[in-house]
Amino acid sequence: SLPLPCCRAKEIKTKLGTLLQKPDSTIDFIIPYPEKPEKPPKAQKPSPEEALQWRDSLEKLLQNPYGLASFRSFLRSEFSEENAEFWVACEDYKKTKSPVKMAEKARKIYEEFIQTEAPKEVNIDHFTKAVTMKNLVEPSPTSFDMAQKRIFALMEKDSLPRFVRSEFYHELIK
């Protein structure tokens, strides 16, 4: 093969140099940023004794930020995270003081969890759904109580026993 004329070789070298000195921003497209960890940073890992109490008390589990995060991860693995999300949304809703904000949150909860074909529709019976919809005509702190109790009972009866048998839980009581 013939040697490249000197000016052609220089041109190739320059192009190569430009390619190698691309700005760092191109790296951003290649390396995805790690997703935010699910467990809240402030939540302290519970003692095995504390975690053991959750076997018999879904309430204690849900009130513990670390327990709630672990339970939600477990529910996500079972594709039933909407139950815990709904419960948390109801707890937040009940603490709302402003009637305007309450009405706004009620609508959001209804659209996200209650209405038929909602993106995270929770499994409640027709009677509970009807009562909830009637309660939402004039939103009050108790509007979602019946639905929240039904979902709590469902998690307590179905999800909690499976969670207690799961790897998620066994990591906590070691």
Residue ranges per structural domain of the chain:
48-171
**Which structure tokens are listed for 32?**
């995805």
Is the pTM higher than 0.95? The answer reads no
Q: Cβ distance 51 to 173 under 8 Å?
A: yes
CATH code, 48-171: 1.10.167.10
Length of the chain: 174
Residue of 131, 156, 166 lying closest to 146 (CA atoms): 131
pLDDT tens per residue, the chain (174 residues)?
A: 555 555 555 565 555 555 555 444 444 444 444 443 444 446 788 999 999 999 999 999 999 999 999 999 999 998 899 999 999 999 999 999 999 999 999 999 999 999 999 999 999 999 999 999 999 999 999 999 999 999 999 999 999 999 999 998 998 888
